[in-house]
């Protein structure tokens, strides 16, 4: 390159800016996208079992289309340092790729997919969506990924369940938006006399939860129903209603009505346990909240004080808010459906 050319391209400062962008933004984004794709497609799991050539990998993944494209994609993974290739066989090379491939890190792998597939697009497309008056829909989400990634905070939700659950008495539980069904199962394991109805709005999510609970021999105690909770009209019968990580699937102005409806399903003295990320937490949960603000069905993450107030307006008593993760805004809300006598005493 001639010196004059070099001066020309560096003069305006755009080349250094481009190089700096490539290093600080583009490469990490490419790595994250590659890893999310490798995890979601099953490539990581395949390579965790051992080195694979393209054809073996393609067969295992059910890819019949042009395999040279799969090779090009894998070679990019090699260039990014996440894979290596030796005598035609690909293997895991990067520390993150190896860690994400471990089954015990499945929730983290799903969280990475959630960031790349849902969080990035809302940041990318937000202004354009406003310009074209379009909104995100439930179909823009993959319920299976969300159900898996929600497990990242499982230990904290389980602690909240432990605090509220009677371990011995027969107990009737309703779980709203059960996702994978893991928390209703956890409750059933804590109390062997518990029976439950678990509902989820997304058919594939409800079907997967039902299949998993059946495989674990719990179908006689836990019924999974594909239903919108707003359409579930039953006699007041539940001792406990749990609702984890889904209050933001409902618009703010519908939340009191939803909570009133939930209360109508509780027996007198029954309680609700709601866990949720609230506003003001880490960046990931803030972007999650933004996603739901851009959705045509949901709303922003709740403000903790506002949600406690909505529970009271819906007729609940003894509302207790607890921060579940130190330094974070992930909270549990426990509240009681008043017994008739407590109402009479107040009157």
Ligand X SMILES: C[S@@+](CC[C@H](N)C(=O)[O-])C[C@H]1O[C@@H](n2cnc3c(N)ncnc32)[C@H](O)[C@@H]1O
- By CB under 6 A, residue 295 contacts ligand X: no
Closest CA to 201 of 143, 162, 269, 280: 143
Under a CB-based contact definition with an 8 Å cutoff, are residues 64 and 55 in contact? no
- By CB under 6 A, residue 213 contacts ligand X: no
- d(CA 100, CA 119) in angstroms, rounded, equals 19
Report the residue number, 70 or 209, with the smaller CB distance to ligand X.
Answer: 209
Please give the sequence-ordered ranges of beta strands (E in DSSP) within 280-329, or none if there are none. 317-323
Please state the closest distance from residue 130 (CB atom) to ligand X, in A: 24
Under a CB-based contact definition with an 8 Å cutoff, are residues 273 and 242 in contact? yes
Helix (H, G, I), strand (E, B) or coil at 98: helix
- By CB under 6 A, residue 205 contacts ligand X: yes
Q: Which stretch binds ligand X (CB under 6 A): 39-47, 63-71, 115-123, 199-207?
A: 199-207
Please state the closest distance from residue 250 (CB atom) to ligand X, in A: 7
Please state the closest distance from residue 85 (CB atom) to ligand X, in A: 37
The answer to whether the Cα torsion of 288, 294, 296, 300 is positive or negative is positive
Under a CB-based contact definition with an 8 Å cutoff, are residues 117 and 181 in contact? no
Among 96, 105, 191, 202, binds ligand X (CB under 6 A): 202
- d(CA 159, CA 164) in angstroms, rounded, equals 9
- By CB under 6 A, residue 228 contacts ligand X: yes
Report the residue number, 229 or 304, with the smaller CB distance to ligand X.
Answer: 229
Q: Which stretch binds ligand X (CB under 6 A): 123-131, 188-196, 245-253, 288-296?
A: 245-253
Q: Which structure tokens are listed for 271?
A: 């309680």
Under a CB-based contact definition with an 8 Å cutoff, are residues 149 and 123 in contact? no
Please state the closest distance from residue 139 (CB atom) to ligand X, in A: 12
Name which of residues 10 to 69 contact ligand X (CB under 6 A). none
Q: Which helix (H) or strand (E) holds 108?
A: helix 106-114
Among 249, 291, 294, 330, binds ligand X (CB under 6 A): 249
Please state the closest distance from residue 65 (CB atom) to ligand X, in A: 31
Please state the closest distance from residue 133 (CB atom) to ligand X, in A: 23
- By CB under 6 A, residue 245 contacts ligand X: yes
The DSSP letter of residue 144 is H
Among 119, 244, 255, 271, binds ligand X (CB under 6 A): 244
Helices (H) and strands (E) in the chain, counts: 17, 10
Report the residue number, 228 or 306, with the smaller CB distance to ligand X.
Answer: 228
Closest CA to 182 of 166, 169, 193, 196: 196
Under a CB-based contact definition with an 8 Å cutoff, are residues 259 and 307 in contact? no
- d(CA 181, CA 218) in angstroms, rounded, equals 11
Name which of residues 125 to 184 contact ligand X (CB under 6 A). 143, 146-147, 150, 176-180
Report the residue number, 91 or 230, with the smaller CB distance to ligand X.
Answer: 230
Report the residue number, 286 or 317, with the smaller CB distance to ligand X.
Answer: 286
Report the residue number, 97 or 278, with the smaller CB distance to ligand X.
Answer: 278
Residues that bind ligand X (CB under 6 A): 143, 146-147, 150, 176-180, 199-202, 205, 228-230, 244-246, 249
């Amino acid at each position: 390159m001639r010196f004059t050319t070099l001066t020309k391209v560096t003069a305006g400062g755009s080349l250094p800016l481009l190089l700096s962008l490539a290093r600080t933004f583009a490469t990490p984004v490419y790595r994250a996208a590659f890893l999310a794709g490798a995890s979601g497609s099953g490539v990581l799991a395949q390579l965790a079992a051992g080195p694979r050539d393209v054809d073996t990998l393609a067969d295992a993944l059910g890819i019949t289309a042009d395999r040279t494209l799969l090779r090009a994609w894998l070679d990019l993974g090699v260039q990014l340092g996440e894979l290596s290739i030796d005598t035609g066989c690909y293997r895991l090379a990067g520390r993150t790729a190896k860690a994400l491939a471990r089954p015990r890190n499945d929730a983290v792998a799903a969280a990475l997919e959630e960031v790349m597939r849902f969080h990035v697009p809302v940041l990318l497309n937000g202004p354009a969506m406003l310009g074209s008056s379009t909104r995100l829909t439930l179909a823009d989400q993959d319920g299976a990924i969300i159900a898996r990634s929600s497990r990242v905070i499982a230990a904290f939700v389980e602690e909240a369940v432990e605090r509220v659950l009677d371990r011995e008495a027969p107990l009737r539980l309703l779980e709203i938006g059960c996702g994978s069904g893991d928390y209703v199962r956890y409750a059933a394991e804590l109390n062997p006399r518990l029976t439950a109805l678990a509902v989820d709005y997304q058919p594939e999510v409800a079907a997967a939860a039902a299949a998993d609970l059946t495989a674990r021999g719990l179908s006689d105690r836990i019924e999974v129903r594909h239903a919108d909770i707003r359409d579930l009209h039953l006699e007041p019968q539940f001792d406990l209603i749990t609702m984890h990580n889904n209050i933001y699937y409902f618009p703010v102005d519908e939340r009191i009505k939803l909570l009133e409806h939930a209360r109508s399903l509780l027996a007198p003295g029954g309680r609700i346990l709601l866990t949720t990320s609230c506003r003001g937490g880490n960046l990931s949960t803030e972007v999650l909240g933004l996603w739901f603000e851009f959705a045509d069905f949901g709303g922003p993450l709740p403000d903790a004080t506002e949600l406690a107030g909505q529970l009271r307006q819906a007729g609940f008593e003894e509302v207790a808010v607890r921060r579940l993760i130190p330094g974070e805004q992930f909270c549990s809300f426990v509240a009681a459906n008043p017994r008739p006598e407590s109402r009479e005493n107040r009157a």
